[in-house]
């Protein structure tokens, strides 16, 4: 007699049968990914960038930057980092490799920069990675958020290299939190709190920034009215997308345009942690850009990436991916005509907070988990 099939075997047969039917009718089938750990033992990793020969560059929030070998081996922390004000939400945060890294070995990173006494702010630096992968050279801070304040909260700190017509234009976007205690600053142009700024790779101010020449306005500002943005990326068409934490409810995905006001703390879809209204309790107001999408309850989003490869099948191509710190999953977001039409929770079995997500040069997705023994994980199509 033939042996009885196990439940797992039956399930596999059902999946194959259903997939075959869907493909026969021309419907895209989403691949079920599986998590493949690449590296572990990372202390609260915050961001990952990609280097040649399959290597990775990973920040650890306490103030370390490491090269991770293709086989997952952790190299010793790089020498040459500036002083980092690590504590609370602050530390060494985002990192990005220059689009011309193969010829110039330039990277950018943002971090909480100490000031006088207990003050600090978000800063953006550039450096060159040494050929032996042991240190940073020619380190220079090219932007420093003003003013510095005494807070360990809401640093923002995601970097995106701007592209126009598919080509880098020599400028960088940087998201900046409003430092929590200074939330009203997000509506003022005389400071960098609660803003997105755009600067040249050498720290200069692009002359076409929206507030250049305006009295009382800091010229680096690109958009205002943000709370705490821990995700930013370029869409396939080159437009800037970002998300930001709400308070209690009201996490948002926004598409910041030059000079746009995104409303915080005048309008919000959430409430303060004590349950009180934000502003007058309104979720919209003329002259303030509404979010493309919002989450209530909050998922505490971090990391953001578009998938442009075919590695996971047609159903995933063009999807947006966002990590959830609060609920510990990776959100796969389907878009149609510029709208969110569906969300899917991935990696719920990993059991750690998802801090970053990026598409690698191989077209696969990579995530970082924020934990005392955090992981770098590769998503493999099943």
Claim to verify: residue 68 and residue 20 sit in the same structural domain: no
Q: Which of 154, 243, 245, 262 is catalytic?
A: 154
Claim to verify: residue 22 and residue 115 sit in the same structural domain: no
Return the number of other C-beta atoms located less than 10 Å from residue 235's C-beta.
15
Q: What share of the chain is helix, strand, coil (3-state, %, to 5)?
A: 10, 45, 50
- pLDDT tens-place values along the chain, 382 residues long: 444 444 444 544 444 444 444 444 444 555 578 999 999 999 999 999 999 999 999 999 999 999 999 999 999 999 999 999 999 999 999 999 999 999 999 999 999 999 999 999 999 999 999 999 999 999 999 999 999 999 999 999 999 999 999 999 999 999 999 999 999 999 999 999 999 999 999 999 999 999 999 999 999 999 999 999 999 999 999 999 999 999 999 999 999 999 999 999 999 999 999 999 999 999 999 999 999 999 999 999 999 999 999 999 999 999 999 999 999 999 999 999 999 999 999 999 999 999 999 999 999 999 999 999 999 999 999 8
Q: How far apart are CA 334 and CA 344, in angstroms?
A: 8
Tell me if 334 sits within 8 A of 328, measured CB to CB: no
CATH code of the domain containing 335 = 2.120.10.30
Q: How far apart are CA 112 and CA 160, in angstroms?
A: 18
Q: How far apart are CA 321 and CA 316, in angstroms?
A: 10
Nearby residues of 221 by Cβ (< 8 Å), 6 or more positions away: 189, 192, 195, 196, 197, 209, 210, 211
Tell me if 329 sits within 8 A of 348, measured CB to CB: yes
Claim to verify: residue 7 and residue 66 sit in the same structural domain: no
Claim to verify: residue 271 and residue 179 sit in the same structural domain: yes
Claim to verify: residue 83 and residue 1 sit in the same structural domain: no
Helix (H) or strand (E) holding 245: none
Beta-strand relationship, 156-164 and 167-176: antiparallel
| Whether residue 272 lies in the annotated active site | no
Claim to verify: residue 8 and residue 130 sit in the same structural domain: no
Claim to verify: residue 131 and residue 239 sit in the same structural domain: yes
Claim to verify: residue 83 and residue 23 sit in the same structural domain: no
Claim to verify: residue 289 and residue 233 sit in the same structural domain: yes
Show the tokens assigned to 219.
């010229």
Q: How far apart are CA 176 and CA 306, in angstroms?
A: 21
Considering the entire predicted model, what is its pTM?
0.92
Q: How far apart are CA 317 and CA 337, in angstroms?
A: 14
Claim to verify: residue 15 and residue 120 sit in the same structural domain: no
**Number of domains observed in the structure of the chain:** 2
Claim to verify: residue 25 and residue 171 sit in the same structural domain: no
**Residue 14 pLDDT:** 45
**Residue 7 pLDDT:** 45
Q: How far apart are CA 308 and CA 305, in angstroms?
A: 9
**Residue 234 pLDDT:** 98
Show the domain range for 4.
1-30
Residue 319: which of 176, 311, 327 has the closest Cα? 311
Claim to verify: residue 221 and residue 90 sit in the same structural domain: yes
Terminal Cα distance for the chain, rounded = 32
Helix (H) or strand (E) holding 56: strand 56-60
Backbone phi, psi, residue 185, to 5°: -65, -20
């Amino acid at each position: 007699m033939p042996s009885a099939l196990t439940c797992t075997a039956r399930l596999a047969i059902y999946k194959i049968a259903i997939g075959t039917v869907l493909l026969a009718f021309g419907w895209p089938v989403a691949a079920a990914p599986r998590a493949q750990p690449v590296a572990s033992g990372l202390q609260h990793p915050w961001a990952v960038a990609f280097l040649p020969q399959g290597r990775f560059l990973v920040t650890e929030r306490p103030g370390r930057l490491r090269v991770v070998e293709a086989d997952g081996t952790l190299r010793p922390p790089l020498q040459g980092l500036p002083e980092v004000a690590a504590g609370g939400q602050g530390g060494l945060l985002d990192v990005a490799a220059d689009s011309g890294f193969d010829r110039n070995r330039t990277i950018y990173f943002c971090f909480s920069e100490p000031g006088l006494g207990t003050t600090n702010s978000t800063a953006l630096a550039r450096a060159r990675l040494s050929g032996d992968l042991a240190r940073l050279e020619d380190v220079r801070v090219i932007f420093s958020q003003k003013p510095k304040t005494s807070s360990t909260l809401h640093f923002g700190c995601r970097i995106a290299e701007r592209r126009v017509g598919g080509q880098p234009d020599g400028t960088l976007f940087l998201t900046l939190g409003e430092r929590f205690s200074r939330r009203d600053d997000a509506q003022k142009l005389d400071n960098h709190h609660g803003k997105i700024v755009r600067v040249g790779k050498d720290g200069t101010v692009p002359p076409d920034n929206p507030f250049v020449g305006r009295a009382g306005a800091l010229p680096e500002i690109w958009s205002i009215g943000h709370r705490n943005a821990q995700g930013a990326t370029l869409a396939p068409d080159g437009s800037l997308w970002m998300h930001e934490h709400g308070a209690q409810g009201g996490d948002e995905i926004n598409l910041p345009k030059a000079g746009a006001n995104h409303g915080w703390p005048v309008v919000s879809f959430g409430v303060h942690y004590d349950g009180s209204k934000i502003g007058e309790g309104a979720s919209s107001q003329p002259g303030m850009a509404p979010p493309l999408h919002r989450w209530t309850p909050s998922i505490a989003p971090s990391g953001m990436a578009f998938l442009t490869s075919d590695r996971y099948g047609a159903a995933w191509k063009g999807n947006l991916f966002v990590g959830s710190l609060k609920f510990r999953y990776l959100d796969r977001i389907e878009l149609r005509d510029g709208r969110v039409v569906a969300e899917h929770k991935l990696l719920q079995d990993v059991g750690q907070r998802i801090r970053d997500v990026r598409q690698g040069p191989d077209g696969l997705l990579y995530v970082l988990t924020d934990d005392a023994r955090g992981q770098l994980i590769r998503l493999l199509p099943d």
